[in-house]
């Protein structure tokens, strides 16, 4: 019996080493909550590194401005901790925006293309660049490198397809 236990124990131990899975499910779960803006405002080079840092306990859950209060609440729920207000040292929650290149001013330097974390800017050296609005995450990383300041962030306007019913407001007094 003890020989069998020993053999199975060894087999299990071997399997644990042999079939070790690198990716941690907790990191995946945290990463799924993060907004994937890839802006780096949290202090990590992208959402996944931040998720890894949270999983290791190195980073706090309130460092993601694009995720906002809602993101913090969901992270707190996942990790079983108390939600806390956003750490403003990392930025403030802003309405979702997209980058727009003023094509009259663009000199075609490709610096913004290199900065874009999701390859949402099209262009080539000495050719005009433009942003693919539907792929832009609004991370603002392209704004600073532009030598002619021709990129600005435009908040996304609500239209009929993205409009949401508002939370019902109940008047306190009868009209």
Partner 1 sequence: MRELYGFPGGVHPPEHKTESSGRPIAPAPLPARLVVPLMQHIGNPAKPVVQPGQRVLKGELIGKADGYISASVHAPTSGRVLAVEPHPVPHPSGLPALCVVIEADGEERWVDKTPIEYLDRDPSEVRNRLRDMGLAGLGGAVFPTHVKLNPAPEPNIPLLVLNGCECEPWITCDDRLMQERAPSIVAGARIMRHLLGAREVIVAIEDNKPEAIAAMGEACRDTDFELVVVPTLYPSGSGKQLTQLLTGREVPSGGRSTDVGVQIFNVGTAHALDRAVHHGEPLISRVVTVTGNVRRPQNFEAPIGMPLAELVALAGSPREDTTGYIMGGPMMGFDLHTDRVPVVKAMNCVIARSHRLFPPAPPALPCIRCTRCAQVCPVRLQPQDLYWFARARDFGKAQEHYLFDCIECGCCAYVCPSHIPLVDYYRFAKSEIWAREREKKAADRARERHEFRLQRLEREKKERAEKLAQKAAASKATAAMPTPDADAKRAAIQAAIERARARQAGVEPRNVDDLPPDKLKEIQEIEARRAKLREAMQNPPENTP
Residues that bind partner 1 (CB under 8 A): 31, 34-38, 46-48, 117-120, 135, 137, 158-160, 162-168, 170-175
Tell me how far, at minimum, the Cβ of 80 lies from partner 1, in Å. 16
- Closer to partner 1 by Cβ: residue 16 or 170: 170
Instruction: Give start and end residues of each alpha helix (H) in the chain.
Output: 2-18, 25-33, 47-56, 68-79, 111-115
β-pairing, 97-101 vs 130-131, is unpaired
Q: What are the distances in angstroms from CA 87 to CA 8, 41, 84, 137?
A: 49, 11, 9, 21
Q: How many residues does the chain have?
A: 175
Tell me how far, at minimum, the Cβ of 115 lies from partner 1, in Å. 11
- Closer to partner 1 by Cβ: residue 3 or 80: 80
Tell me how far, at minimum, the Cβ of 11 lies from partner 1, in Å. 35
- Closer to partner 1 by Cβ: residue 9 or 155: 155
**Cα separation, 18 vs 79, whole angstroms:** 29
**Cα separation, 7 vs 14, whole angstroms:** 10
Tell me how far, at minimum, the Cβ of 164 lies from partner 1, in Å. 4
- Closer to partner 1 by Cβ: residue 62 or 137: 137
């Amino acid at each position: 019996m003890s020989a069998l236990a020993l053999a199975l124990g060894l087999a299990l131990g071997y399997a644990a080493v042999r079939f070790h899975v690198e990716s941690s499910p907790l990191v995946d779960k945290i990463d799924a909550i993060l907004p994937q803006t890839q802006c780096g405002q949290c202090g990590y080079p992208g959402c996944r590194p931040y998720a890894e840092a949270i999983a290791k306990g190195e980073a706090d859950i309130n460092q993601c401005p694009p995720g906002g209060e809602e993101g913090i609440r969901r992270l707190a729920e996942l990790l079983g901790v108390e939600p806390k207000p956003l750490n403003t040292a990392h930025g403030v929650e802003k309405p979702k925006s997209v980058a727009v290149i003023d094509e009259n001013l663009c000199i075609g330097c490709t610096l913004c293309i290199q900065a874009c974390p999701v390859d949402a800017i099209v262009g080539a050296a000495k050719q005009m660049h433009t942003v693919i609005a539907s792929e832009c995450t609004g991370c603002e990383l392209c704004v600073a490198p532009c030598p002619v300041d021709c990129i600005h962030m435009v908040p996304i306007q609500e239209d009929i397809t993205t409009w949401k019913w508002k939370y019902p407001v109940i008047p306190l007094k009868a009209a």
